[in-house]
Amino acid sequence: MDLKYIQQIAIELSLPVKNITNVQQMHVEGATIPFISRYRKEATGNMDEVQVGNVIDKIKYYDELENGKKLF
């Protein structure tokens, strides 16, 4: 994912870019939302399941936007 999208997600959700990048990487590797929020707190800055889910939703949105898929 392009850094500009990660920075935009960080701004929209008021989270550090590093945490967004870490969540994105774990998600790409196949980690689930509960796993990320429970067992990778050091990488996410103690984000809960809702926050991790919001980050992943935004990542999916920007991936689709970047790839030219219809969003509506």
Q: What is the pLDDT of residue 36?
A: 97
Residues written for the chain: 72
Number of domains in the chain: 1
Residue 16: inside a domain: yes
Residue 25: inside a domain: yes
- Write down the residue that tokens 């990048």 correspond to: 21
pLDDT at residue 12 tops 90: yes
Q: What is the pLDDT of residue 72?
A: 53
Q: What is the pLDDT of residue 68?
A: 79
Range of the domain at 33: 3-67
Could you tell me the pTM of the whole model?
0.88
Q: How large is the average pLDDT for residues 46-72?
A: 89
Residue 72: inside a domain: no
Least Cα distance to 6 among 69, 72, 56, 49 occurs for 56
